[in-house]
Structure 1
Amino acid sequence: MEVIKLNYPLNLNKIGLPPLSMALGYFDGVHRGHQKVILEAKQQADQKGLLSAVMTFDPHPSVVLGKSEKHVQYITPIADKINLIEAIGIDYLFIVHFTSEFANLLPQEFIDQYVIDLNVKHVVAGFDFSYGRMGKGTMETLPFHSREKFNFTVVEKLTCGAEKVSSTRIRQFIREGNTVELPGLLGRFYITAGEVIHGDKRGRTIGFPTANVETFDEYILPPLGVYAVRIKIGENWYEGVCNVGTKPTFNMDAFRVSVEVNVFHFDQSIYGEHVIVEWHKYLRKEQKFSGIEELVSQIERDKQNAIQYFNKIDKHLLNDCEK
């Protein structure tokens, strides 16, 4: 997949793009609804002898247009989004740098410069996609703005549990710690990436060494608590228990949230390594214990609960949503 970054004003430098079928959208999460749009663009490309493309935007428009929110946490930061879209088999990914000047384009200007000038012959977008200044361009105005230079497909909403599959719904589940519901919406488990850093090394003294993962701050973290997780170290996945919290048993005045994974059947030094945490099931809230013995007993119960979960996990979590 060729990744092309676009800025405003657009300067294509005569790159000579082939005829394209392009999916338009922000696509945070690349969830099942997004996949439906992207796969439709790919199918149209195959049917019409075009190459497939996706256009997305970075950063999130609310960072530029919002009056108060200057930092947004993502379901899929841009690096993850690139990997997921590439895995679908798309030929071109256009990443438009979202600025206030770009946001001020008239709907016709956006279509002329970022669709027609990119040699797009078929456009695919969700029913609620909007474009141009103040979102005045919609899928209803697209026929007029197309200047008859391309055809288009409107993809209707995808539902799961009678509700629309949406990034908003996914963010809410993550922030509630309802991670077990996410595969039905994402088509996969939720992941976060980070680097293993030195902690206080207290876990090894009580028989439960942990990997202290400094999670990149672009991600939404689940709330404080204990979770059954898998962690990818190098090329291998391991099961484990993760504590998101402030370690109240030891730290009376701690405010910094840590992500610590007790990795089952693993005893290597991995400081400085990039790892991926895959969030499976919320086990319990974080709590303060009266002493080390009580803490160790609870950690052992957490470990057994996680092992029991992984032994029972089945494919129903990844079943297709209602079409």
Structure 2
Amino acid sequence: MKVLMVQHPHTFQQHDFPPLVMALGFFDGVHLGHRKVIETAKAAAVNSGWKSAVMTFDPHPSVVLSQENRPVEYITPLKEKADLISKLGIDYLFIVRFTSSFANLDPAQFVQQYVIDLNVRHVVAGFDFTYGKYGKGTMDTLPHHGMGILQVTTVTKMEEGNEKISSTAIREKLREGDTESVITFLGRYYETKGTVIHGEKRGRQLSFPTANIQLNEDYIIPKPGVYAVRLFVNGRWEKGVCNIGYKPTFHDPGQSHLSIEVHLLHFKRSIYGEEVTIEWRHRIRDEKKFHSLEDLKAQIAYDIVRASDFLQA
């Protein structure tokens, strides 16, 4: 897959590209609804003898358009999104830098400059895709703005259990700690990547050493609590139990930052500095404060048993 980072205004011309079938969208999570859009574009490209393409944007439009100035938490930061799209067999990935000037393009300008000028002959997008200033362009207006020379395919809403499959719904489920039901939306387990760093060594003092994980990107973090997880490290998956939280047994409220710590089952090697992937499987319980270290150790031992049971299933 050829990846092109596009700054507005770009200088590409039609003859720079073969005829393209392009899927349009932000595609955070590359969930099952997104995959349907991208795979529809891929199939149309194969049928027409053209090349397939995906256009996405970076950063999230809310960074530019929102007045709240809140950091964006991604299901799939840009590199992971690109990797997932590449696995779908796409020929071209256009990553457009989302800026104020780009956001101010009117719908007709967007279609001319970022569709027609890139030699796109066929556009595929979800039913709720919008484009241009204030999102005034819709899938209904796209044929008009395409001046009759574009083929347009609108992919209808996908649902799971009468709920629309969407990035928003996945984020809400992760914030609730519902790491199991997101599987039916993503088509896979939720994953985050990070680096093993030195922590407070509390786990070692309790006879349950942990790997303290510093996430590499602005991922959405599941709700604080204890989870059964798998950790990909040194080329293989290891089973573990993870605590996300503030360690209230050791710290007063407000005196600790959020930490992600994984105790690996049947694992004794040092992995400081290693790049790892956490695969979030099952939420076991909320984080809570214990009256004694013995109570905490007993709870951790029970958590390990429960995590082991979940990971054997």
Shorter-normalised TM-score: what interval?
over 0.9
C-alpha distance in 1 between matches for 2:248 and 2:202 = 13
Tell me if structure 2 keeps the 8 A contact 1:64–1:70: no
Tell me the SS of whatever aligns to 2:128.
coil
C-alpha distance in 2 between matches for 1:15 and 1:270 = 50
Name the counterpart of 2:248.
248
Name the counterpart of 2:111.
111
C-alpha distance in 1 between matches for 2:149 and 2:5 = 23
Tell me the SS of whatever aligns to 1:131.
coil
Q: Which amino acid aligns with 1:117?
A: D
Name the counterpart of 1:159.
159
Name the counterpart of 2:36.
36
Give the TM-score normalised by the residue count of structure 2: 0.97
Name the counterpart of 1:317.
none
Name the counterpart of 2:173.
173
Tell me the SS of whatever aligns to 1:179.
coil
1:255 shift after superposition: 2.8
Q: Which amino acid aligns with 2:43?
A: Q
1:308 shift after superposition: 0.8
Name the counterpart of 2:312.
311
Name the counterpart of 1:315.
none
Q: Tell me how large the CA RMSD over aligned residues is.
A: 1.2
Tell me the SS of whatever aligns to 1:181.
coil
Listed as ranges, the matches of 1:202-281 within 5 Å are 202-253=202-253, 254-281=255-282
C-alpha distance in 1 between matches for 2:81 and 2:51 = 19
What is the CA deviation profile of residues 193-241 of structure 1, one whole-angstrom value per residue up to 9, with x for unaligned ones?
1111001112123221100001235101112110011111132111100
Tell me if structure 1 keeps the 8 A contact 2:14–2:119: no
Question: Which stretch shifts more, 48-57 or 196-205?
Answer: 196-205
Q: Which amino acid aligns with 1:202?
A: R
1:133 shift after superposition: 0.8
Give the TM-score normalised by the residue count of structure 1: 0.94
Q: Which amino acid aligns with 1:59?
A: P
Q: Which amino acid aligns with 2:86?
A: E
Q: Which 4+ stretches in 1 moved above 6 angstroms?
A: none
C-alpha distance in 1 between matches for 2:189 and 2:312 = 17
1:311 shift after superposition: 1.6
1:289 shift after superposition: 1.2
Q: Which amino acid aligns with 2:172?
A: Q
Q: Which amino acid aligns with 1:55?
A: M
What is the CA deviation profile of residues 32-63 of structure 1, one whole-angstrom value per residue up to 9, with x for unaligned ones?
00000000000001100011110000001110
C-alpha distance in 2 between matches for 1:156 and 1:14 = 30
What is the CA deviation profile of residues 173-205 of structure 1, one whole-angstrom value per residue up to 9, with x for unaligned ones?
000101111100000011111111001112123
Tell me the SS of whatever aligns to 1:125.
strand
Tell me if structure 2 keeps the 8 A contact 1:107–1:137: yes
1:22 equivalenced with 2:22 (yes/no): yes
C-alpha distance in 2 between matches for 1:242 and 1:284 = 11
Name the counterpart of 2:288.
287
Question: Which stretch shifts more, 217-226 or 20-29?
Answer: 217-226
1:13 shift after superposition: 7.0
1:283 shift after superposition: 0.4
C-alpha distance in 2 between matches for 1:163 and 1:21 = 29
Name the counterpart of 2:149.
149
C-alpha distance in 2 between matches for 1:306 and 1:5 = 42
Cα pair distance change 1:71/1:22, threshold 3 Å = same
Q: Which amino acid aligns with 2:293?
A: I
C-alpha distance in 2 between matches for 1:202 and 1:20 = 55
Gaps of 5+ in 1: 313-323
What is the CA deviation profile of residues 254-287 of structure 1, one whole-angstrom value per residue up to 9, with x for unaligned ones?
3301000001121111111111111111101111
1:248 shift after superposition: 1.4
Q: Which amino acid aligns with 2:251?
A: N
Q: Which amino acid aligns with 1:218?
A: D
Gaps of 5+ in 2: none
Tell me if structure 1 keeps the 8 A contact 2:201–2:209: yes
C-alpha distance in 2 between matches for 1:90 and 1:268 = 39
| Aligned positions, number | 312
C-alpha distance in 2 between matches for 1:217 and 1:302 = 28
What is the CA deviation profile of residues 72-96 of structure 1, one whole-angstrom value per residue up to 9, with x for unaligned ones?
1111110110111011111110000
C-alpha distance in 2 between matches for 1:110 and 1:69 = 26
Q: Percent identity?
A: 53
Tell me the SS of whatever aligns to 2:181.
helix
1:252 shift after superposition: 2.7
Question: Which stretch shifts more, 15-24 or 80-89?
Answer: 15-24
Name the counterpart of 1:316.
none
1:148 shift after superposition: 2.2
